[in-house]
Amino acid sequence: MAPSCHSVPLSYLRVSSQFSTYDSTCQIAQEIAEKIQQRNQCERRGEKTPKLTLTIRTLLKNLKVKIDTLKDLLLRAVSTRQITQLEGDRRQNMLDDLVTRERLLLASFKNEGAEPDLIRPTEREHCWHL
């Protein structure tokens, strides 16, 4: 009998979900930074940017939803002992970095902060699943 596609343990699927959610959250943050820079360049040239502004607003909402999802996934993984407390702490630090990034992007969007730096993947960002 051939192995079933459904033979993957549910805990593995949950952890895999965290990886893809984290990666897509980082991608959204990167896209927001790029769009804010683009908007700021257009504004410096005196161009109107309502479409870009709407896009950034939508991306910021999506970023918040993704971060909230990661918080829930992490809490569930730690409370059900799918990961160790040490691993939970490491991921919490990464999540805290994302929350800080979200705040900086929001401030930049409102022109209250410096123009955002584009995110360069670091070793830490690629180790969510280790």
4: number of Cβ within 10 Å: 7
pTM of the model: 0.75
Q: pLDDT at position 103, please?
A: 96
- Tokens encoding 99: 């929350």
Query: Where are the alpha helices (H) located in 7-84, listed in sequence order?
Result: 10-44, 50-79
Domain ranges of the chain: 17-127
Tens digit of pLDDT for each residue in 85-120?
Answer: 999 999 999 999 999 999 999 999 998 656 666 555
